Structure 1
């Protein structure tokens, strides 16, 4: 009996100890919320700098959209891919080479590793995280609340964040720095930072394409949809089934678009279809299926999203469920309903989900593509002005505090709808081409919170966000955020006060660009020096504003953007020498004999005297 009582006492003691351990706060240097590509890049960057990291993911799936169907990566030229994302893409490419051979069709389709299958992308990201024991990944923890305290100079500081687990228990995390890498911006909102949802007016930031048709602000956000991964390979095909709650009456009106000739296909790479099968295709006969811009019938549903950014869990779940019901229900109708013309129906049935993708969710991506939610109002609001072409120059306006680059267009799939889902059109859709651009540090820096960085729901207008909301760019911003967090911890400084040139120097050393250059890649011995010099303004003025159109590589991809080469073998003219001298740091001198030597030697000397020797 005494033994039994003793065992009971010991059991109670052990249970109490385990409960206390479960409820105890976890300590770390950096807490990253959201294992999006930006979140993973931030975690890796901070760990490289010797910091401990807790990477907290609200779902049971890491990688964000990069592992949830967005495999047709949004960028324009390969020269814009640097840092973490380039490393990731090169690893994906090497994986295909190792498994199929360098000359295989899979390697060609992988498009230098930028068109990897979601399962491959997931495996590579897991490997990248596993290389750093300082990173611990915690899944299925949803942010509940943030505790803050007032700091100096009117700032606040995050003390801890509390997350809810699937079992109902809470987990508190105490960290010295926090990074909100979620698509929704939940951490920044909980911390009390100012943010915006919807479109600003044209007058707010002087953006000609802002606002509604009258130029006024509204609460509309860009449309969401699924990024399905589908195949025509019957040996790997999983046939779509009727989704729960399916009602054919919800989709009958789509037949009018086929009868009128506005639509000719269900799947197409252009606006003749609804389900956009991105070209070129992916490895192993797969395709990334997306919304089709300007098509008669769309997958994205911008008319039901506006409550999502600030919505509670139930509101968001309802909106997400509506997208799944529409995207999957419309597909089932077009593949199976007898009212669909047989030729259209049979052509659509050539496509199915993939047996080897998303096995836990029957071949359906586990995440909805949240193109836009909250946008922080931080130290620098990224707007149309940040991508304007500099006067008389091939390059965009200079940002000496740049921490990342982008090469894409301002784009939005629409924020509202006129007419019905099958006979109307999207309102608020835009696509504006701009030269490659720089992204200032202030875009990820909050106005008030001194130990928070926000690389995804970053500081931008609705129009400006359309040029930032791309996984390679978010990854670069995440890499910069992880590095900046490490510097702030090392030097015990608010993120608003760190030395941006020091941050840039670390990013350059890690192969991440702060200005677009087409002929000096990250593996060049001149990369760091040239990035430093270009970010000081040394590459502006080298090429005239008018440039030929870049050569197309298919789809949105093109060859290097003209007028953005450094041409390091060219001589430094007297005029260029004189101008470059004005860009040097105050305590740096270059001998007059430097004139007429190669640009490479001039820049190396300047960098050596002002940066490398420090």
Structure 2
């Protein structure tokens, strides 16, 4: 009964919070007008966007966040609660404040609704999830992260206009190499002195005419070992370890290929292509009966989409549950694991440049694929009994994503456009083979690319390609030049998410704590550019460094 009461109380709180959020959206829209102006305009609702907005406001500048998203925080509040951090000692500034606020939340009895605090295993990546010594918590539930972002926005009195989508065709007004204003599809126009593109897609950057790249560069472009096509490289467990036929009738090419298997040649080793690593949703699941919803069966469910998984199970593969990473209150951050899992390999290639309508189709297709995958493992008779029985004890968390049928609001855009800016970060800087000029933050996570394609090997069996995991051998610095376009492209834009980076270097940089770090550093630079009446390319680095260090940012 106590748990039931707690659940009802929580449901009431979530409903009220949802109504407040919707009311907030309405109020924000009412404030919008054809001439909204601020010192700094931030496009995006990601963790980088919020960090940038807080930094700008605390530095005394007016700021408006123009967010296509209703829910703030991107992947940090969208299911990625088992944070990929690397070396946590190099996470400073507002990023560390975020994880400290998460720690403060879980340091209260009220946070532990479905589980006692002392029963939580406290598993983290490299350190305990709840690190009392450093007063940080790196593992969290999605709604907790979202509330932290909302608290930061509320406390600083930052204006956020939600559900505002950039008019990508005609919405960016330029003059003398600078963005003057941006206009959204609703007709609202936002004018500013400085602009930040903090989206996962880089739409503002692209619409402003800034150069960028999509796909993998060939080895020769930047002299990298781990870029381009990587056939035969099998770094993780996300590949077929047994000889499995890709054909509808095993061993019979005339029967046709199974779904999601490419019949094209994968490309020569180290050659470049226009393909990108797979997307998925980071699912928040629960095995606590009072907070569990059985996996829904999608309308277009087709078990053939998962035939390769069935064949993998038949070969003896038993590691299905390895990435059900625990987060508080009997929940998981469930990620891709194995040869056929939540990564929807090969189905996202056109996403970075696609229209909004086409992106919605891609996102929906990914959702249906992933829901079908869950249904398949929980119900199909070809799944081993021990795996299936355990899978049936899991479901979607009832108290997460309550306005979206308990499904994450944000798809994991692991990579889309990447700017070609003043300085391009490559594996050579991450591996410390080449120096990094003017550092404004650090990363440390493994250079990590998920699979890019599923193809047929010359021997007639199926295999995945593109999954790479290479250690950076400790932290590395990230250049200020990777946040700014070439001067001839744009003089008042900073890009803290779709940074100037090669494919494989971005595989490490793309972590949420790093995006928060880069968001804060980009906003600090924007403030200095305004105060100095200069371009983002001409911001004095030594001054920027002093400002960042004074605010707790770790830059070297």
What is aligned with 1:124?
Answer: 148
Cα distance in 2 for partners of 1:339, 1:256 equals 9
For residues 330 and 103 of structure 1, do their structure 2 counterparts lie closer, same or farther at Cα, with a shift above 3 Å needed?
Answer: closer
- Choose from 170, 173, 188 the match for 1:148: 173
- Unpaired runs of at least 5, structure 1: 1-18, 270-275, 391-396, 516-614
TM alignment of 1:400-439, pairs within 5 A: 400-419=437-456, 424-434=462-472, 435-439=474-478
What is aligned with 1:161?
Answer: 182
What is aligned with 1:200?
Answer: 217
Secondary structure of 1:345's match?
helix
Q: 1:215 aligned to 2:270?
A: yes
For the Cα contact (< 8 Å) 1:70–1:288, is it kept in 2? Answer: yes
Comparing 338-347 with 227-236, greater Cα deviation is found at 338-347
For the Cα contact (< 8 Å) 1:82–1:511, is it kept in 2? Answer: yes
What is aligned with 1:99?
Answer: 109
Deviation at 1:30, TM superposition (A): 0.8
For the Cα contact (< 8 Å) 1:93–1:107, is it kept in 2? Answer: no
- Choose from 257, 264, 289 the match for 2:318: 264
Secondary structure of 2:467's match?
strand
Q: 1:37 aligned to 2:62?
A: no
Q: 1:340 aligned to 2:383?
A: yes
TM alignment of 1:182-261, pairs within 5 A: 182-212=199-229, 213-261=268-316
Secondary structure of 1:31's match?
strand
Q: 1:369 aligned to 2:412?
A: yes
Cα distance in 1 for partners of 2:402, 2:328 equals 18
- Choose from 470, 476, 484 the match for 1:445: 484
Cα distance in 2 for partners of 1:128, 1:498 equals 27
Secondary structure of 1:138's match?
strand
Cα distance in 1 for partners of 2:77, 2:110 equals 21
For residues 107 and 495 of structure 1, do their structure 2 counterparts lie closer, same or farther at Cα, with a shift above 3 Å needed?
Answer: farther
For residues 245 and 403 of structure 1, do their structure 2 counterparts lie closer, same or farther at Cα, with a shift above 3 Å needed?
Answer: same
Deviation at 1:108, TM superposition (A): 3.7
Q: 1:351 aligned to 2:394?
A: yes
Secondary structure of 2:296's match?
coil
Deviation at 1:253, TM superposition (A): 4.5
Deviation at 1:22, TM superposition (A): 6.2
**Post-superposition CA distance 1:350-399 (Å, at most 9, x none):** 11111111111121111110000000000000001111236xxxxxx553
Q: 1:290 aligned to 2:335?
A: yes
* TM-score of the superposed pair, with normalisation by structure 1: 0.73
- Choose from 161, 169, 192 the match for 1:138: 161
For the Cα contact (< 8 Å) 1:230–1:351, is it kept in 2? Answer: yes
Q: Which has the higher contact order (CA 8 A, sep 6+)?
A: 2
Cα distance in 2 for partners of 1:400, 1:197 equals 24
Cα distance in 2 for partners of 1:147, 1:368 equals 26
Deviation at 1:339, TM superposition (A): 4.3
Larger radius of gyration: 1
What is aligned with 1:9?
Answer: none
- Choose from 73, 76, 99 the match for 1:89: 99
What is aligned with 2:527?
Answer: 486
Q: CA RMSD in A?
A: 2.1
Secondary structure of 1:360's match?
coil
What is aligned with 2:235?
Answer: none
Secondary structure of 1:335's match?
helix
Cα distance in 2 for partners of 1:105, 1:180 equals 42
Cα distance in 2 for partners of 1:333, 1:375 equals 36
Cα distance in 1 for partners of 2:66, 2:31 equals 18
